[in-house]
Amino acid sequence: MLSLSSMTFFLLYLLSGFFLHLIWENAQAPLFAGFESFVQHFPICLKATLTGDLSMMLLLYFVLALVHRDLQFLEKKETFRHPVTWILPSFVGALFAVIIELRALLEHRWSYTDAMPILPFFPVGLTPVLQMIVIPLVLLWILRW
């Protein structure tokens, strides 16, 4: 069973992740075809954050908990000294972002404007992939304090 302290860390992880992803989603929105305005696109970004982004954050949390063999790993200082804590989220985040972007593009769920930087080896946007690398690392950096 998770302690109150563990629940606090977990909720801080999710809430901070939610807000960081929501900001990122809205900042990159003009790079997607169909963007007209912040007001028009905000509900789309909110849905993406609540579904895909938070699902990714949960996946990363449980992958790290599995690797550390501890659901309460965020509370322990030694967690943040272990290289896997920093490497694994970047790798898993980038991998899943590429897969999700490729699938969405193939299914025509969204497309990019010409302003979207594209990865050299995969025909997907750079900013969605960076989102799944940067935000988990920022969250871990924040939570290590």
pLDDT at site 2: 61
- For residue 89, pLDDT over 70 is answered with yes
Condensed to tens digits (0 to 9), the pLDDT of residues 23-80 reads: 999 999 999 998 889 899 899 999 999 999 999 999 999 999 999 998 888 888 888 8
Question: If you average pLDDT over each of 66-75, 76-85, 96-105, which comes out highest?
Answer: 96-105
The answer to whether the CB of 12 falls within 8 A of the CB of 138 is no
Q: Look at 1-5, 15-19, 80-84 and tell me which has the smallest mean pLDDT.
A: 1-5
The answer to whether the CB of 60 falls within 8 A of the CB of 54 is no
Average pLDDT over residues 115-119: 96
Average pLDDT over residues 125-135: 96
pLDDT band at 7 (very low <50, low <70, confident <90, very high): confident
CA 7 to chain centre: 20
- For residue 1, pLDDT over 80 is answered with no
Those residues whose C-beta lies under 8 Å from the C-beta of residue 100, and which sit 6 or more positions away, are 52, 128
- For residue 116, pLDDT over 90 is answered with yes
* Cα radius of gyration rounded to whole Å, the chain: 16
Average pLDDT over residues 127-145: 91
d(CA 17, CA 19): 6
| pTM score above 0.85 | yes
Question: Does residue 25 sit in helix, strand or coil?
Answer: helix
